[in-house]
Amino acid sequence: MRILLVNPEFPDTYWSFRYALPFEGKRSVFPPLGLMTVSSLLPRSCERRLVDLNVERLKTSHLEWADMVFITGMLAQKDSLHEVSARAKALGKRIVLGGPYVTSTIEQLPDADHIFQGEAETTLPQFFDDLERGETKRIYKAPERPPLAITPVPDFGLVNLKRYSCMSVQYSRGCPFSCEFCDIIEIYGRVPRTKSNQQMLAEFDALHRLGWRGPLFIVDDNFIGNKKNVRLLMPDMIAWQKKHGYPFSLLTEASVNLADDEQLLTSMKDAGFRRVFLGIETPVEESLKEAQKPQNRGNLLDSVRRIQSHGMEVMAGFIVGFDNDPEDIFERQIEFIRQSAIPMAMVGMLNALPDTQLWKRLEREGRLLGNDATGNNTLSSLNFIPRMDAETLQAGYRRIMRTIYRPSEYYRRALDSLQRTPQDVPEAHQYHGLKAVKAFARIAFHLGVLDRERREFWRFFIKALRTDRDRMTELLRHAAMAYHFRKLTESHCYS
């Protein structure tokens, strides 16, 4: 049996890094980890191919080759998912849908033969057993969330690693907190499940054998959700990195209470963690209380600085649009982002995602609008009636983005961040020899010669060279990111 695995296209967002990737000679940030895991769950007798629409076109010949087409996707990919499904259906192909969008949506799904809701470790083998008996069902939903002990090593060799700027692995699913706006706890639960140390090291080994060197994203929505197990993992991860010469530069997502654990911070630094994404959301105490986010209450600036002092650049998410946001929320967000030296500050307007506690509350209050959630963090549209005047909220959001991604603002934060994140071991990357020369030449020519903000680029670069010349890869990354964020902001936040 021939199975085609298709990852739909993501729209242009701040997360797509569309304008930064060409400087690296890459086409997308991450390969589709979910589909690579699904591939490892397929029967050995199956032939398989993977097409990622973020790095290549889906050809008719791809679809004609397949007996079944497996399509996954997140909410932001829904338009592309519907298009792929329609193309496959027109050719009479058997369509299998799964992934976060399919699991949590309340919208009309494409006309698929089989729908997988939730995690597939137990339901996919059941599907192939049913297929052999001729007794397949349309909907497969796991009766309970599976233990990650049965999750196989992803089929990393199914993709061309050279097309991506970062690889990804997953350690845990679920989060112990109950943030009102979050859909992760609805999909994966509030009891974090983890893989074993042996499983994680096997995935590290697999990527190392394939020749990957450089950034490796542990994609958990909260890496420290199960702190007990993470503490047990750290010594083995540190030993593996030391044994192999630190081939991976690690990054992940975590809750802000990471800052309260000095031992864990030290272990993560020793393991080679270089960046961590925090859901800070807002500096307004009442809005944090409204969002049911007690883990963020306290001195957030101190928490950020404590993490930075352990050599980890902080990236963070911020939200405006809470019911308790004061009139000066926009200025307060800008000032917090400045003081915290967070270059990559992902600010979004509050969106009610399907089946979240926020969605249910707003539905009870009669405040939901007809607009569907998009999952696209570049849009300033609302799918509910906010307490603040909608036009004021949208204008304030656009003002934040225009301010924080002005080149002088971004570069200042980048310089401050470099100063606050001391490094003992050079960061692992893919740019050596000719590759490094080409990457620098692309950035220097485009941003230092052609771009209208070239003076800001050279001002940043020269200042950074004086204090951080041994961190050239990070300097170039920040320059590329500054360009990407400015271009997206110009496209979506100027009117």
Residue 376 pLDDT exceeds 80:
no
Query: Using one digit for the tens of pLDDT, what is the confidence trace for 400-411?
Result: 999 999 999 999
157-166, 258-267, 423-432: the lowest-pLDDT one: 423-432
- As a whole number, mean pLDDT of residues 428-436 equals 81
- As a whole number, mean pLDDT of residues 61-81 equals 96
Query: Using one digit for the tens of pLDDT, what is the confidence trace for 436-467?
Result: 889 899 999 999 999 999 999 999 999 999 99
Whole-number Å distance between alpha carbons of 465 and 310: 22
**What secondary structure letter does DSSP report for 272?**
T
The pLDDT of residue 371 is: 62
The pLDDT of residue 262 is: 98
The pLDDT of residue 297 is: 86
Query: Using one digit for the tens of pLDDT, what is the confidence trace for 228-242?
Result: 999 999 999 999 999
Residue 375 pLDDT exceeds 80:
no
Kindly tell me the burial class for residue 216, based on how many C-beta atoms sit within 10 Å of its own C-beta (0-12, 13-18, 19 or more): buried
pLDDT category of residue 8 using cuts at 50, 70 and 90 = very high
Q: How many other CB atoms sit within 10 Å of the CB of residue 398?
A: 18
Amino acid (one-letter) located at 475: L
> What one-character-per-residue DSSP string does 96-134 give?
EE-SHHHHH--SPPP--SEEEES--TTHHHHHHHHHHHT
Q: Are 80 and 9 in contact (CB under 8 A)?
A: yes
Residue 169 pLDDT exceeds 80:
yes
Query: Using one digit for the tens of pLDDT, what is the confidence trace for 141-155?
Result: 988 999 999 999 999
- As a whole number, mean pLDDT of residues 296-306 equals 96
The pLDDT of residue 426 is: 84
Query: Using one digit for the tens of pLDDT, what is the confidence trace for 317-350?
Result: 999 999 999 999 999 999 999 999 999 999 999 9
Q: Which residues contact 310 (CB under 8 A, 6 or more apart)?
A: 265, 266, 268, 269
Q: The pTM is what?
A: 0.96
Percent of the chain with pLDDT over 90: 89
Q: Are 230 and 266 in contact (CB under 8 A)?
A: no
- As a whole number, mean pLDDT of residues 345-365 equals 95
Q: Which residues contact 452 (CB under 8 A, 6 or more apart)?
A: none
Rg of the chain, C-alpha, whole Å: 22
> Three-state DSSP class for 74?
coil
The pLDDT of residue 495 is: 60
The pLDDT of residue 373 is: 62
**In whole numbers, what is the pLDDT of the chain averaged over residues?**
95
Selection from 17, 53, 449, 453 nearest residue 215 by Cα: 17
Residue 377 pLDDT exceeds 60:
no
